[in-house]
Amino acid sequence: MIDAIFEPLSYGITLRALAEITLIGIVSGAIGCWIVLYELSYSAESLAHGLFPGLVAAALIGAPLLLGGAVGILIAAILVVVAGRMAGESPDTAIAVVITSLFGAGVLMALSPDSPAGLQGLLFGDLLGTTVTDILVAAVIGSAVLVALWLLHERLLAVGFDPGSGPALGVPVGVLNLILLGLVATTILVAVQGLGNLLVAAILVGPAAAARLLTRRVWPMMLAAGAVAVTAGVAGIYASYYLKTAAGASVVIALVLCYLLAAAAAQLRDRTAAVRH
């Protein structure tokens, strides 16, 4: 058992992957709670898919993926706003069309025969290809997101449970929502390099959804979500090492299993409470 635990740690690629997924998990767990509480799961997934053409374009021209993703999110946001206004009473349908079109364009660019090898990894990530620079970037940006969440905590909490309290706090609800979406987009930019465009939404929503089954208080929920994300991340990396499976997909499967365990634990708790009463 001890050898099984320490053997993967003798490889630098595994250590770097573990460091990256731990950082991503902590930040995603925290921001994911607000995604779930504010019912922004669809928006988070849309942002992830919308930035894909920017990632591919950056990879094609040799620019930093972080820069390409940022440009991609900006363009996607502008198109979503324009489409929403033109759609009138069906903004969700317009947004879905825009995001699907952007994602499809990115896939065409990535899977084109003329594209260099490795671009397909943008779809599923490359945790085992994590560099020291990636870890440092994740640490710096992740810390900034956590500090912002800490500073905005009371306002997010108040508006989340009582939207009418925004003006009394001196922060319009729309502005607060935009700030929160900006933090979500920033987290996606960091996480997408490791987990890929198709899988990044799982670590943003899955741990928080599992944590919400176990507790209704925000701070314990954040701690539980971070713990679930990190546990699933570490388990996924180890599973990838021993089962020879893709690291990102292994992490997502571990996240699903954690959610199912949380759901079972919540049901058992509720049944036990019902029997006692």
pLDDT of residue 236: 94
Encode pLDDT of 231-253 as tens digits. Answer: 999 999 999 999 999 888 899 99
pLDDT tens readout for residues 36-90: 988 888 878 888 888 888 888 888 888 887 888 888 888 887 787 777 667 665 6
Q: Please state which architecture CATH assigns to domain 2-265.
A: Orthogonal Bundle (1.10)
Give the pLDDT confidence of 167-224 residue by residue, as tens digits. 666 667 777 878 888 898 889 888 887 888 878 889 999 999 999 999 888 899 999 9
Residue 231 has a pLDDT of 95
Count of CB atoms situated within 10 Å of the CB of 42: 15
